């Protein structure tokens, strides 16, 4: 037995049955290296073990840290102005979460490749059916007010967010998964999560993807103004905050990860509009911009002094068609509508190529478990006309498409209108302000376009807008076979089973087509070319822990 | 004079009260609700209803207005719903910023505009007059954001002579703050220059043609004295009225400029408050801008009356 095999066997002996199963899949070639790393981290296998295992298999895993950086200095990040107060319970926007994640930290970090990385939790594992998850909390961590972090703080934070009475924005992911009291501190470094139902992706639901759940002390009073303290265990400590203007941070000298952050200080300047934020980078006023829309940010893509970072994401627009009444009750009509949408043109024209084509299911190409063997729906006007004829709608009909005015959405609506004309569907457009759309038309319109932000796992996309009891089910889609498949998918932690179920769900949704998923757009951010080590995520986080100025 | 002042102040208070009613009714007929705006589109409808109840926005509009008015009369303008801060402190900061920008623009444009008008009038129908008049009118006709974009792209991005944001770093000295405000003041100067210059020119020409000017010349006064003591004193009366009406615009009407230069002035704050249906902030802000308008007009009236005794003593009646 060679030394590599001995090392592999040694690592295997320390892992659970599920983790060994993942290794088997990797060995058998049924799982890519990327999928292996991602799946292993979900199951709680430590990065050291993953690295050692891959090294023994002849493939490295460690990502080289940013090198060639000056020690110290200050960077200015231009972020979207937070929509309201920076409050761990209520933050629901990209500007707010980008700020929240500086002084605050999560148990687990969901990175740009949708892999999990330990932060305040060093490892995690589940029982055999994924209904109880155990997290080990890092020792020696202090909040920036000097108090020590314990498992009680973690349990209290999670129970606070899981309590419907607190109206936490995190509930959209935790509802039906974790109830108040489900997080229990077993000792100072161990937290057990007793879930409402088995969930194979639970670590994602309490990771940075669920951006409200920064860990705060057990006795923290959430009615207090968080902006006064910016309490947290993160690498940064607030020095000043002005509503609407920005926040300044200094290095947290007692940060648990010695050597980090690299910079001495960090300023986050708030910009209410895209153009000034973009211009701040080109004029040298800021060093980093956390996000820019592809349309407004065209000049950045060709600027030699700027590094544009495009991250594949699962963020998308959904074109829902109401299935329970009106013109779209016949699935053939819905299929016809989907067939006349030219997805390639949309990605090229609206997104300048910075997006992935959708296949009318939430399984974005970037998800490792998307079954890519399911045929891609392509433009086919002749087939669409035939379907309309079969449905008795060959002469077409009139309908109204409701949506709201932001980014490329009005252009998408106009292109859908134009495409629908090819099969005789006369679409009137109602492009509204967001408040009117979401309060009056979103869940009651026959045809509408809604935007969905990035998620590390598709669970929310699969449940809320598509299951029979989904709270955001604008299509009013009710299909018991689908509900059952999603239930199985959510609880599955076995890789082949998840992929198989994904394929079945994709096929079912292509047949039923309650929603057209035209594309998944990239998350764009940018830095000066003199800056390195900035880590954005498609969720909207901007991790500045390893950032610095090139030497 | 006291009666004149008392009447004007009384009218100003009535105007503010009417303004408060208009804004309250206007804000309430806007579509959507506050809870939805704050908690986001994906929030549970029950949570939105509970939040609206907590805020009191589900009460009848008259009850809400009465509650606001009684608190406002006690000096309590409430907290911003979206940001949680007291409306007064947010408005004070934003108003301070707006006053700084307005002051810089004012200090640049008033002397330039008046000077331009005087030079044009003194060179009536000659090249310099036509140049100032045509250039001024052309610049006034161009929207301010066009000049703002050009200023940002040319002066800020290409030449990098001035910062493109109007907000100076915390703790900056007054000269540094002034430096940050020059670029956003440029479009304002360009837009207002022609207006002020034209009014000054018209007033100057009227005064130059007046009998009292001819008399002053004929009695042997020097040219400079005639212009300074007889022409300007009369010619600037309409200019003062125009500048006063622009003060309100310079304080509260620079929404576009504030957005483009990322400046946290009162215009931007009120726009965001309206967008978020943040009633307490919106209401308080409109009251503040209304008060600024009224005070500026009052100051202009007083200045006008000091320069024109016919108004001071009711001689015009």
Structure tokens at B105: 């623009």
Q: How far apart, in whole angstroms, are the C-alpha atoms of residue B150 and residue A494?
A: 59
**A–B: how many Cβ contacts below 8 A?**
109
Residues of B in contact with A281 (CB under 8 A): none
Examine residue A261 and say whether the peptide bond preceding it is cis (omega within 30 degrees of 0).
yes
Total count of residues recorded for chain A: 551
CB contact under 8 A, A471 and B44: yes
CB contact under 8 A, B164 and A276: yes
Phi, psi of A268 (to 5 degrees): -120, 115
Q: How far apart, in whole angstroms, are the C-alpha atoms of residue A310 and residue A289?
A: 12
DSSP class of residue A28 equals: T
Q: What is the pLDDT at residue B311?
A: 61
CB contact under 8 A, B165 and A284: no
CA-based nearest distance B264→chain A, Å: 7
* Least confident residue range of A167-176, A235-244, B145-154: A167-176
Tell me the pLDDT band of A61, cut-offs 50, 70 and 90.
very low
Tell me the pLDDT band of B317, cut-offs 50, 70 and 90.
very low
CB contact under 8 A, B44 and A275: no
Residue-wise pLDDT for B133-143, tens only, equals 999 999 988 98
Name the residue among A84, A172, A440 with its Cβ closest to that of B83: A84
Q: Which of A285, A453, A469 to mutate to test the interface with B (most CBs of B within 10 A)?
A: A285
Q: Which residue of B has its CA nearest to A91?
A: B39
Q: Which residue of A has its CA nearest to B40?
A: A92
A469 touches chain B (CB under 8 A): no
Residue A101 Cα to chain centre, angstroms: 14
Phi, psi of A137 (to 5 degrees): -95, 140
The whole-number average pLDDT for the span B29-39 is 71
Name the residue among B82, B164, B167 with its Cβ closest to that of A279: B164
Strand partners, A69: A550
pLDDT at B52 over 50: yes
pLDDT at A492 over 80: yes
Write the CA distances from A471 to A161, A436, A475, integer angstroms: 18, 18, 11
Buried b (16+ CB within 10 A) or exposed e, A334-345: bbbbbbbbbbee
Q: What is the pLDDT at residue B20?
A: 87
What percent of chain B shows pLDDT beyond 90? 31
The whole-number average pLDDT for the span B175-181 is 92
Q: What is the pLDDT at residue A64?
A: 42
CB contact under 8 A, A438 and B262: no
Mean of per-residue pLDDT scores for chain B: 85
CB contact under 8 A, A439 and B82: no
pLDDT at A59 over 60: no
Q: Which residue of B has its CA nearest to A442?
A: B41
pTM: 0.81
Residue-wise pLDDT for A269-311, tens only, equals 999 889 999 999 998 899 999 999 888 888 898 899 999 999 9
The whole-number average pLDDT for the span A365-385 is 93
Q: Please indicate whether residue A17 or residue A123 has the higher confidence score (pLDDT).
A: A123
- Number of helices (H), then strands (E), belonging to chain A: the values are 19, 24
Name the residue among A84, A273, A472 with its Cβ closest to that of B42: A472
Q: What is the pLDDT at residue A524?
A: 95
pLDDT at A36 over 60: yes
Name the residue among A84, A244, A439 with its Cβ closest to that of B269: A244
pLDDT at A128 over 90: no
Q: Which residue of B has its CA nearest to A80?
A: B262
CB contact under 8 A, B39 and A87: no
The whole-number average pLDDT for the span B210-235 is 88
Name the residue among B31, B163, B259 with its Cβ closest to that of A285: B163
Residues of A in contact with B261 (CB under 8 A): 276
Residue-wise pLDDT for A387-443, tens only, equals 999 999 999 999 999 999 988 999 999 999 999 999 999 999 999 988 788 878 999
pLDDT at A501 over 60: yes
Strand partners, B86: B79
Using alpha carbons only, give the angle A446, A363, A201 rounded to the nearest 5 degrees: 115
CA-based nearest distance B14→chain A, Å: 33
Name the residue among B43, B84, B160 with its Cβ closest to that of A284: B160
CA-based nearest distance B177→chain A, Å: 15
Structure tokens at A58: 């002849």
Q: Which of B41, B55, B159, B285 to mutate to test the interface with A (most CBs of A within 10 A)?
A: B41
A176 touches chain B (CB under 8 A): no
CB contact under 8 A, A269 and B165: yes
Mean of per-residue pLDDT scores for chain A: 90
Q: What is the pLDDT at residue A444?
A: 93
CB contact under 8 A, B38 and A84: yes
Structure tokens at A489: 């998918």
The whole-number average pLDDT for the span B57-74 is 85
pLDDT at A208 over 90: yes
pLDDT at A229 over 90: yes
Residues of B in contact with A430 (CB under 8 A): none
Buried b (16+ CB within 10 A) or exposed e, A90-111: bbbbbbbbbbbbbbbbbbbbbb
CB contact under 8 A, B39 and A167: yes
pLDDT at A515 over 90: yes
B202 CB contacts (<8 Å, ≥6 apart)? B117, B238
Q: What is the pLDDT at residue A29?
A: 57
Burial environment of residue A276 by CB neighbours within 10 A (0 to 12, 13 to 18, 19 or more): buried
pLDDT at A173 over 60: yes
Residues of B in contact with A282 (CB under 8 A): 157
Cβ atoms of B80 and B280 closer than 8 Å: yes
Residue-wise pLDDT for B261-284, tens only, equals 999 999 889 888 888 778 888 888
pLDDT at A158 over 80: yes
A83 touches chain B (CB under 8 A): yes
Q: What is the pLDDT at residue B183?
A: 94
Q: What is the pLDDT at residue A277?
A: 94
Name the residue among B82, B261, B277 with its Cβ closest to that of A276: B261
Q: Which residue of A has its CA nearest to B44?
A: A471
* Least confident residue range of A51-60, A118-127, A411-420: A51-60
- Choose from A75-89, B17-31, B289-303 the range with maximum mean pLDDT: A75-89
Q: Which residue of B has its CA nearest to A239?
A: B170
* Least confident residue range of A32-46, B119-133, B262-276: A32-46
CB contact under 8 A, B260 and A276: yes
Q: What is the pLDDT at residue A7?
A: 66
A275 touches chain B (CB under 8 A): yes
Phi, psi of A542 (to 5 degrees): -135, 100
Q: How far apart, in whole angstroms, are the C-alpha atoms of residue A520 and residue A522?
A: 7
Residues of A in contact with B163 (CB under 8 A): 283, 285
Q: What is the pLDDT at residue A10?
A: 67
Residues of B in contact with A442 (CB under 8 A): 41
């Amino acid at each position: 037995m060679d030394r590599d095999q001995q090392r592999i066997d040694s690592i295997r002996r320390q892992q659970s049955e599920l983790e060994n199963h993942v290794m088997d899949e990797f060995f058998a070639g049924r799982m890519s290296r990327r999928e292996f790393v991602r799946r292993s981290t979900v199951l709680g296998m430590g990065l050291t073990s993953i690295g050692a295992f891959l090294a023994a298999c002849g493939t490295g895993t460690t990502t080289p840290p940013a090198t060639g950086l000056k020690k110290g200095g200050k960077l200015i990040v231009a972020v979207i102005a937070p929509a309201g107060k920076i409050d761990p319970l209520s933050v629901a926007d990209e500007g707010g979460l980008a700020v929240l994640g500086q002084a605050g930290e999560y148990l687990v970090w969901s990175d740009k490749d949708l892999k999990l990385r330990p932060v305040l939790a060093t490892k995690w594992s589940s029982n055999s059916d994924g209904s109880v998850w155990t997290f080990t909390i890092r020792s020696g961590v202090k909040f920036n007010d000097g108090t020590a972090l314990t498992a009680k703080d973690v349990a209290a934070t999670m129970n606070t967010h899981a309590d419907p009475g607190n109206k936490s924005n995190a509930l959209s992911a935790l509802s039906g998964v974790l109830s108040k009291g489900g997080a229990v501190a077993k000792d100072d470094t161990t937290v057990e999560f007793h879930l409402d139902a088995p969930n194979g992706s639970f670590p994602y639901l309490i990771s940075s993807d669920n951006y409200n759940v920064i860990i705060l002390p057990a006795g923290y009073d959430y009615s207090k103004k968080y902006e006064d303290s910016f309490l947290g265990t993160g690498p940064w400590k607030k020095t000043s905050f002005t509503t609407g203007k920005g926040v300044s941070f200094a290095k947290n000298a007692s940060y648990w990860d010695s050597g980090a952050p690299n910079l001495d200080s960090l300023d986050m300047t708030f910009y209410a509009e895209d153009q000034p934020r973009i211009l701040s980078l080109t004029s040298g006023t800021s060093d980093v911009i956390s996000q820019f829309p592809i349309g407004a940010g065209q000049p950045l893509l060709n600027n030699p002094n700027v590094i544009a970072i495009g991250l594949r994401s699962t963020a998308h627009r959904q074109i829902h068609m109401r299935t329970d009444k009106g013109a779209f009750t016949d699935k053939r009509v819905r299929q016809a509508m989907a067939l006349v949408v030219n997805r390639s043109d949309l990605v090229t024209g609206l997104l300048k190529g910075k997006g992935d084509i959708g296949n009318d299911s939430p399984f974005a190409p970037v998800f490792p478990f998307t079954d890519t063997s399911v045929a891609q729906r392509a433009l086919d006007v002749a087939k669409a006309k035939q379907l309309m004829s079969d449905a008795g709608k060959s002469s077409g009909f009139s309908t109204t498409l409701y949506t709201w005015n932001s980014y490329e959405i009005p252009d998408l609506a106009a292109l859908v209108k134009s495409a629908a004309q090819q099969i005789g569907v006369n679409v009137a457009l109602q492009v509204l302000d967001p408040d009117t759309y979401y309060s009056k038309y979103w869940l009651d319109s026959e045809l509408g376009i809604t935007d969905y932000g990035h998620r590390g796992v598709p669970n929310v996309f699969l449940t809320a807008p598509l299951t029979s009891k989904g709270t955001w089910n604008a299509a009013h889609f009710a299909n018991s076979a689908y509900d059952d498949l999603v239930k199985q998918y959510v609880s599955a932690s076995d890789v082949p089973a998840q992929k198989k179920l994904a394929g079945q769900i994709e096929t079912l949704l292509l047949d039923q087509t309650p929603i057209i998923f035209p594309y998944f757009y990239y998350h764009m951010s940018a830095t000066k070319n003199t800056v390195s080590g900035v880590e954005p995520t498609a969720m909207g986080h901007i991790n500045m822990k390893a950032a610095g100025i090139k030497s | 004079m006291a009666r004149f002042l008392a009447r004007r102040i009384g009218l100003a208070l009535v105007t503010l009260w009417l303004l408060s009613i208009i804004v309250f009714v206007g804000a309430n007929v806007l579509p959507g609700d506050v809870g939805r705006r704050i908690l986001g589109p994906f929030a549970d409808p029950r949570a939105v209803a509970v939040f609206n109840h907590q805020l009191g926005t589900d009460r009848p509009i008259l009850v809400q207005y009465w509650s606001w008015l009684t608190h406002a009369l006690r000096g309590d303008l409430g907290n911003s719903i979206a940001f949680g801060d007291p409306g007064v402190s947010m408005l004070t900061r934003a108003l301070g910023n707006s006053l700084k920008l307005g002051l810089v623009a004012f200090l640049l444009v008033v002397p330039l505009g008046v000077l331009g008008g005087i030079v044009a009038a003194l060179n009536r129908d000659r090249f310099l007059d036509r140049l100032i008049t045509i250039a001024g009118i052309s610049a006034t006709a161009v929207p301010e954001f066009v000049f703002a974009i050009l200023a940002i792209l040319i002066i800020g991005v290409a030449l990098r002579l001035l910062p493109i944001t109007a907000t100076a770093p915390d703790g900056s000295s007054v000269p540094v703050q002034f430096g940050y405000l020059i670029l956003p003041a440029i479009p304002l100067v360009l837009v207002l220059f022609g207006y002020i210059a034209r009014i000054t020119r018209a007033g100057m020409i009227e005064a130059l043609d007046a009998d009292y000017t001819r008399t002053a010349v004929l009695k042997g006064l020097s040219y400079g004295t005639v212009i300074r003591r007889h022409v300007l004193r009369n010619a600037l009366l309409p200019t003062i009225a125009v500048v006063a009406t622009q003060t309100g615009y310079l304080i509260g009407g620079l929404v576009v400029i504030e957005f483009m230069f990322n400046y946290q002035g009162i215009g931007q704050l009120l726009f965001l408050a309206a967008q978020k249906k943040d009633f307490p902030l919106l209401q308080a802000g409109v009251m503040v801008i209304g008060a600024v308008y009224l005070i500026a007009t009052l100051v202009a009236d007083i200045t006008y009356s000091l320069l024109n005794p016919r108004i001071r003593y009711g001689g015009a009646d």
